[in-house]
Amino acid sequence: MNLMNPYTIPSTVLLQCVDEETLLFNSANGLFFALNETGAMLWEEMTHATTLHAVIEKMVEVYDVERKQLEADLIAFSQTLVTQGLLSFEQA
Amino acid sequence: MVYNFHLLFPNFPQFFLEESDASGTLVIKEEEGIDPLAFPVILIYQNNQDRNVTLATDRHFDTPTADQEWIFTVENVISFAWKTQGGEIAYRFLEEASEDLFRFWLYHIALPIYFSIAQIYKFLHAGAIEIEAKTVLFMAPSFGGKSTLTDYFLQKGHPLVTDDKMATFERDGVYYAVPSHPYHRPFRTVEVLGHECANPASQVRPIHAIYILEKSDPTEDIVIRPLKGIEKFSRLHEGGEMNFSFFTPQYVSYLAGLANCVPVYAIRVPHDLERLEEVHRAIVNHTCPPQELS
């Protein structure tokens, strides 16, 4: 995966917090997707960036995280979001 | 009152219901000049109660504006027309209109659409009654036993809040239930408002709890369990009503707020009419626990 590829979060995807759970709701298909604590943190950063590279740079600066592990987690997370229709990447 | 509004019918004074405190007044007046085909933007075209119904508006839009015009038409029966924040609804009778059909379509569909678009209320598909001045809601999929259970509670003397469309609003972090109209339809006959209830609720009250009915085996125990998180939210969303696409973000956010503020429980309801009293007692005791004997 090219970390410099811009991504887009569809406007139909809505974040909600209910009790202590964070969930994404895609109003385009009515499906829900629960985020764990790490996922919620990654999603929050992704809403303020446009590339995975930018997310990594920001998180490495702010949090005490190992870059390699963060990259792997973020790529896996992004791929899941794409599968669920919650994220899309522009072609390089 | 209907949905906590005084309805004034210049042409049908006999429809006037007893006065009491209300959120406001709506004038429902006849207007022969309404053209069901006047507006180019068709938002809804579907079959409801074996009739084709249409909701149209005068413009393309992202969010409704105060002066935007709407026409809701029930094929061959009636057209209702209003502005988003107009404070009145005009109607025109079509070929098969009657007083009963007029009131059915006004109370059951047109007013919920009006209140939703005006963002006065958000609706849930629920029955609701009062238990010792506490409003509780029953939600279930179609044929899930909601009307049967609501009817049983009415027979036991509990005031009716609504039997189908639950109008709600939020104020200062509290979610309120608004009594709809004093008619109850514990049967499936199209275009019928139902029996006039002898004991309708009259006050807007906070929503005390929501019970999601789960049909179970006739011999199964009646179990009430609290719902949390995504399960709670998704069950509420399944029972959404008047969830117009142009308001989806607001409606979803509203449901999340409701989920965070109001207890929601799943209750296993045995598929046996002989056990309705047990279900009734379980919900009453859960809502108002009996005083422990000292």
> What ipTM was estimated for this complex?
0.84
Each residue of B190-241: pLDDT tens digit? 899 889 999 999 999 999 999 999 999 999 999 999 999 999 999 999 999 9
Total residues belonging to chain B = 294
CA distance A85 to A31: 10
pLDDT score of A73 more than 80:
yes
B114 lies in some domain: yes
Do residue B138 and residue B87 come from a single domain?
Answer: no
- Report how far residue B179's alpha carbon sits from residue B160's, in angstroms, rounded to the nearest whole number: 8
Q: Are residues B110 and B130 in the same domain?
A: no
Query: Per the CB < 8 Å rule, is A18 touching B253?
Result: no
Alpha helices (H) along chain B: 99-105, 111-117, 146-155, 229-238, 248-261, 276-287
Asked if the structure places residue B175 within a domain, the reply is: yes
With a CB-CB cutoff of 8 Å, which residues 48-87 of chain A face chain B? none
Residue B214: domain span: 124-287
Distance of CA B167 to the CA centre of its chain: 5
* Long-range contacts of the stretch A31-37 (C-beta < 8 A, 24+): A31/A84, A31/A85, A32/B230, A32/B233, A32/B234, A32/B237, A33/A84, A33/A86, A34/B229, A34/B230
Distance from CA of B148 to the nearest CA of A (A): 28
- Provide the 3-class DSSP secondary structure of residue B46: strand
Question: Are B70 and B186 part of one and the same domain?
Answer: no
Note whether B228 contacts A19, CB cutoff 8 Å: yes
Q: How far apart are alpha carbons A30 and B151 in whole angstroms? A: 31
- Indicate the SS3 state at residue B26: strand
Does B146 lie in the same domain as B187?
yes
Q: State mean pLDDT over B248-262.
A: 95
Q: Tell me the nearest-neighbour CA distance from B233 into chain A, angstroms.
A: 7
The minimum CA-CA distance between A3 and chain B, rounded to whole Å, is 30
Q: Residues 6 or more apart from A60 whose CB is under 8 A from it?
A: A67, A70
**Domain shared by B128 and B116, yes or no:** no
B280 assigned to some structural domain: yes
In a domain, B224, yes or no: yes
A32: nearest CB among B230, B245, B249:
B230
Q: What's residue B47's pLDDT?
A: 86
Last residue of a domain, one of B62, B94, B120: B120
Q: Which of B120, B136, B159 lies at the terminal end of a domain, its last residue?
A: B120
User: How many residues in chain A?
Assistant: 92
CATH architecture of the domain A9-87 equals Orthogonal Bundle (1.10)
In B, what residues contact A, Cβ < 8 A? 228-230, 232-234, 237, 245, 248-249, 252-253, 255-256, 259-260
Q: Is residue B152 part of a domain?
A: yes
Note whether residue B244 is domain-resident.
Answer: yes
Identify which of A80, A78, A83 has the alpha carbon closest to the alpha carbon of residue A7.
A78
The label of the residue with tokens 């509780």 reads B136
Please write the tens of the pLDDT for every residue from B112-167: 999 999 999 999 999 999 999 999 999 998 888 999 999 999 999 999 999 999 99
Asked if the model's pLDDT at residue B18 lies above 80, the reply is no
Whether B174 and B45 share a structural domain: no
List the one residue out of B197, B223, B203 whose CA is nearest residue B211: B223
Say if residue B218 is in the same domain as residue B280. Answer: yes
Which of the four pLDDT bands, split at 50, 70 and 90, describes residue A27? confident
* Whether A34 contacts chain B with CB within 8 A: yes
Identity of the amino acid at A10: P
pLDDT score, position B286:
97
Instruction: Tell me the average pLDDT across A63-77.
Output: 91
What is the residue type of A83?
T
Task: Answer yes or no: is pLDDT of B292 > 80.
Answer: no
pLDDT classification of B20: cutoffs 50, 70, 90: low
> How far is B277 from B119, CA to CA, in rounded Å?
38
- DSSP characters for B109-170? IIHHHHHHHTTS-EEEE-EEEEETTEEEEEE-STTSSHHHHHHHHHHTTPPEEESSEEEEEE
pLDDT in tens, B21-68: 677 889 999 999 999 999 999 998 888 888 999 999 999 999 999 999
Residue B154 CA neighbour count, 13 Å, CB half: 24
Q: For residue B154, what is the domain's CATH number?
A: 3.40.50
Q: Is residue B292 part of a domain?
A: no
Read off the pLDDT band of A31 (50, 70, 90): confident
Instruction: Out of B63, B98, B120, pick the residue that ends a domain.
Output: B120
What is the percent of chain A with per-residue pLDDT over 70, rounded to a whole number? 99
- Give pLDDT tens digits for A40-69: 999 999 999 999 999 999 999 888 888 999
| Per-residue tokens: B53 | 């119904």
The answer to whether residues B211 and B78 belong to one domain is no
Residue B291, pLDDT score: 78
* B106 and B128 fall within a common domain: no
Q: For residues A54 and B141, what is the distance between their CA atoms, to the nearest angstrom?
A: 45
B143 & B166 share domain = yes
Name beta bridge partners: B71: B56, B81
Collect all residues of chain B within an 8 Å Cβ-Cβ radius of residue A34.
229-230
In a domain, B128, yes or no: yes
Q: How many domains does chain B have?
A: 2
More confident residue, B175 or B291: B175
**pLDDT for residue B17:** 61
* Exposure of B261 in the CB half-sphere (CA atoms within 13 A): 17
pLDDT at B142: 83
Regarding whether B137 and B106 lie in a shared domain, the answer is no
DSSP calls for chain A: --TTSBEE--TTEEEEEETTEEEEEETTTTEEEEE-HHHHHHHHHHTT-SBHHHHHHHHHHHS---HHHHHHHHHHHHHHHHHTTS-EE---
Are residue B58 and residue B198 in the same domain, yes or no? Answer: no
